[in-house]
Every structure is written in C-alpha cells, then in structure tokens.
Amino acid sequence: MEKITLIGAGLTGPLMATYLANHGYCVDIYEQRPDMRKESISAGRSINLAMSERGNHALKEVGLYETINPLTIPMRGRMIHDLDGSTHLQPYGQRPNEVIHSVPRAQLNKALMTLAEETGKVKIHFNKECTDLDLDKKTVTIKNSYTGETCIISYELVMGVDGSASAVREAIVQKGAFSYQKKPLGHGYKELTMYPKRNGDFRLYSNALHIWPRGQFMLIALPNKDKTFTCTLFFPIEGPISFETVNDESEILKFFQLQFPDTIKLIPDLVEQFQQNPVGQLASVYCDPWHYQDKAVLLGDAAHAVVPFFGQGMNASFQDCSVLSSLIEKNRGNWSDIFSEFSRTHVQNGHAIADMAVENYLEMRDHVNDPEYKKRRKLELKFEEYFPEKFIPRYSMVSFHRLPYAEVYQRGEKQFRLLDKIIKNLKSIEEIDKTTALTYIKDL
Ligand SMILES: Cc1cc2nc3c(=O)[nH]c(=O)nc-3n(C[C@H](O)[C@H](O)[C@H](O)COP(=O)(O)OP(=O)(O)OC[C@H]3O[C@@H](n4cnc5c(N)ncnc54)[C@H](O)[C@@H]3O)c2cc1C
C-alpha cells in the first residue's frame, strides 16, 4: 500500500500524516474547514492548550519541538485564587523541568499542517467534509463545503482523526461488534479573554495556570504570548446556578461579584463577552476496539474524547500517533497486526485518561483547597523525593512521564490508598523521614 486517507486536519491529523510520510507513505487528508493559514477562522475549541511531556515527545519525534517551544509559556503550577482575593501557588512538580506549557492552538495547528505538507507526501484537501463511509467497499463520500457537490472517493486504508463527533467512528459503530459510549459531563465551558494592562503587561502572574475553585464549578486562566489570558468558566449546563440561569447582565454581574469578585476589574468587558461567546459542551468518549479489520483506525478525539481537566486530550492524541508509528515500524505493511496491537495495547490507556480527567475536575474545582488534599500532596512529593524510582505522584506520571495511562491509573490508585492509610495515623508530615517512609513504600 502506498496511499493512506485521513479524515480531519485538526491537531492529530497532520501530525499522524507526518509520521506516515516519514514511513514512506503518501497521504490525502480531507478537512471540512477552510485552510486556517489563509482564511481567518477560529481554530475551534479552546484558544490555548496545556502541552506536557507526551505532546512534547511526539513533536520532538517529528522535528517540530524547536519551532513550537518558543511560542509557549511555561506554567509552574496552579495559582489558586480564593474568594477573599488571596492567592497561593501549588507547584506541579519539584524539579525545574516539571512544568507544563501553554501553547496557542491555532499556531500549533498551522505549524503541523505546514510540516506535513513539507514532507512532499501529504496533500490536505480543505473544505471537504466526509459525509459517509462504506467500510466494505472502501469508499468515502466527500462534500465540498462551498458548492455542496459530493463525490465518492476510493481509499485503500482510512484513519479517522476527525474529532469527538467522528464520522469514521460512526461508520464503524454501524458495523456492530464495537462498543461505544459517549458520557456527557453535564457541565460546559465558556471562554473569556483577559486583555493586558494599559502598559501592555499581563494582568496576572504569567507562569502559572490560574484557578478560581468554587466547589461545583471553577474559572481557570492560561497565559498567551500576547500578554492576554484565556479564561474558561466550567459550569453546569442546566440547574439553579448554571449557564441556563446566568445569562442576563444583572445575573452575570451578580454571579461574578459573588464568586469571582477579583476578576471583574480584570475583565472590564465581562458581560459583553459572556453574552457573545458560545457555551461549549464536554463529554468523554469510550470505544473499543479503535479499528475495523485492516481497513480503518481511529486516533485522537475520534477514539477517546476526554474532558479537559488533566490537559491531556491533545497530549494523549499525540501519543497515539507516536505509538501507532512504532507499530508501523515494527509490523511494516501488516495493517491487520498493526491495528490489532494498537487496539489491544492502547485502548485501555484512552479509557484510563478519560476516567482520570473526570476525577481531576473534582480535584481542581473542589479539593485543591482542602487541608487533607494539601497534606497528601506534601507527602507524595516527599515520597517521590526519597524514592523517585518507586513513587511518582499521579499528576507527574501523567504530565512529566510517558508511562501508559492505564499503568498510571493503577499505580496512582495504590499510592492513593497508601497515602490515605498513612495520613490517618499521622499528626504531622514532619514525622515522615526517609527511614519511616521506607517501611511504608514496601507496601507498594
Ligand atoms: C476547552 C478545552 C480545553 C482543552 N485543553 C486541552 C489542554 O490543555 N491540553 C490538551 O492536551 N488537550 C486539551 N483539550 C483537548 C484537545 O482540544 C483535543 O484533544 C484535540 O483537539 C484533539 O485533536 P483531534 O485532531 O483529534 O480533534 P480536533 O482537534 O477536534 O480535530 C478534528 C478535525 O477534523 C475535522 N473534521 C471533523 N469532522 C469531519 C468530517 N466529517 N470531515 C472532514 N473533516 C472533519 C474538524 O474540522 C477538525 O479540524 C481541550 C479541549 C477543550 C474542549
């Protein structure tokens, strides 16, 4: 096989296309949107994203890391904003390189497309929507988004990198023998921009991810290179305090005065933005397997859309590309083996990060200010410092390592139970020195 067809040129599509081109394949990508490098369109979803080790690793593999890294802003930890306006930083890790990076989605997407095209083996067809897929005949129906005309194209092998509402996944679902579940979170999100100060400076400390945790909901803010912050309110879609009820000027102001009073002067056009900007939906997608025979495979959000609270959707998607690429290297040309091994070994990782991302919503919006949480956090950093080979906090395993997510989940659960047991009998964290810690760590 020489040619592979991809549906979708979001973040995952062009990256996978580059890996494929590097393996010698020619790639056609069909993307429903116009070319964002030529037309001014939104890159969709969030304006910026947190990039961590898994994403960085894939960018290094394809040679894009050096281009993207200068566009990013390192975030050392979570800056917690309490109701009374006080703030404190909770570092993400304990080593200088244990930071995550705020990266602009549009610039990243454009750079990935250009990189793919520069291989000379990838052609991106813009304004071409996949409306139907016949997995047995190996044909895809493509609709021109401008003219509405459709045509049927034959393919040899198709990869669904068409995001959370994937048409390729839908075609596989229709074939049966495929488990698929979409779990809506019940909470949505709205983005608001915090513009720089009059003198051009950031309005908040720039090397942190800011969080205003408020129990049932939260506001976060990530820095951008133009000194703005992209703020995102994660909030119930419906209910007594929700996007449904907070919508007119007085309700919006009342809500912000009550919950996020310090942000009112930081976002002077708050009401206008709140009323103009859309509410995004959030859901987790679980499916298994991620392939159909040797004919089709799913990657990225098409395979495992996850809620954004671990900042891992894109990172996980980039890791998919890296993992699939190694399997292509290993089983050259044997797509049946490549896809079966991909599903057999990697689906569980997609499910694990989907679960951990939902759990992290609770941590971010509620637990970060809980004394028990703070105690556990101190203790886990201490254990990691003493025994870095044996104990790594879950956040670090996810963000600063490339361990399979399923392994992270299992190790994290064990560690959590251990810490819980210790904390129950502990008066002060200072009681735990290296010798005492060693007796506990044996239980892991
Ligand atoms: C609010 C929010 C914040 C996030 N923050 C982070 C973060 O901090 N860190 C992180 O790692 N991840 C984050 N994510 C997740 C991240 O956005 C996704 O995981 C990532 O975009 C997945 O890339 P993808 O290419 O698989 O899908 P997408 O980015 O959705 O791209 C799919 C592409 O396919 C195209 N397409 C769709 N259907 C068709 C069709 N039928 N025919 C042709 N083309 C089609 C679309 O136009 C699009 O270009 C966040 C997500 C949200 C919603």
Pocket lining: 222 vs ligand 1, CB cutoff 6 Å: no
Distance from Cα 359 to the centre of ligand 1, integer Å: 21
Residue nearest to atom 20 of ligand 1 (CA): 314
- The residue to mutate among 19, 45, 153, 168, having the most atoms of ligand 1 within 8 angstroms of its beta carbon, is 45
The share of the chain scoring above pLDDT 90, in percent, equals 89
Give the CA distances from residue 207 to residues 225, 232, 339, 363, in Å, rounded to whole numbers and listed in that order: 11, 17, 40, 21
Whether this model's pTM surpasses 0.85: yes
pLDDT one-digit tens code per residue, 137-193: 999 999 999 999 999 999 999 999 999 999 999 999 999 989 999 999 999 999 999
Dihedral sign for Cα atoms in the order 124, 125, 128, 131: negative
**pLDDT at 43 exceeding the cut of 80:** no
Q: Encoding tokens for residue 114?
A: 């250009």
Segment 213-239 shows an average pLDDT of 97
- Structural domain boundaries in the chain: 3-74+101-182+284-360, 186-281, 370-441
Name 415's Cβ contacts closer than 8 Å, sequence gap at least 6: 380, 383, 391, 393, 394, 444
The helix/strand/coil state of 423 is helix
Distance from Cα 388 to the centre of ligand 1, integer Å: 34
Pairing of strands 100-104, 48-51: antiparallel
Pairing of strands 280-288, 179-194: antiparallel
Ligand 1 nearest atom to the CA of residue 30, by list position:
43
pLDDT value at position 69?
97
pLDDT one-digit tens code per residue, 21-37: 999 999 999 999 999 99
Ligand 1 nearest atom to the CA of residue 33, by list position:
47
Q: Encoding tokens for residue 228?
A: 């703005």
Give phi and psi for 409, each to the nearest 5: -60, -45
**pLDDT at 444 exceeding the cut of 90:** no
Burial class, 191, CB count within 10 angstroms (exposed 0-12 / middle 13-18 / buried 19+):
middle
Q: Give 36's strand partners.
A: none
pLDDT value at position 1?
62
Decide if domain 3-74+101-182+284-360 falls under CATH 3.50.50.60: yes
- The residue to mutate among 5, 6, 12, having the most atoms of ligand 1 within 8 angstroms of its beta carbon, is 12
Cis? peptide before 96, omega within 30° of 0: no
pLDDT value at position 356?
97
Distance from Cα 372 to the centre of ligand 1, integer Å: 35
Q: Rounded to 10 degrees, what is the CA torsion of 414, 417, 418, 421?
A: -170
Distance from Cα 10 to the centre of ligand 1, integer Å: 6
> Which amino acid type is present at position 316?
A
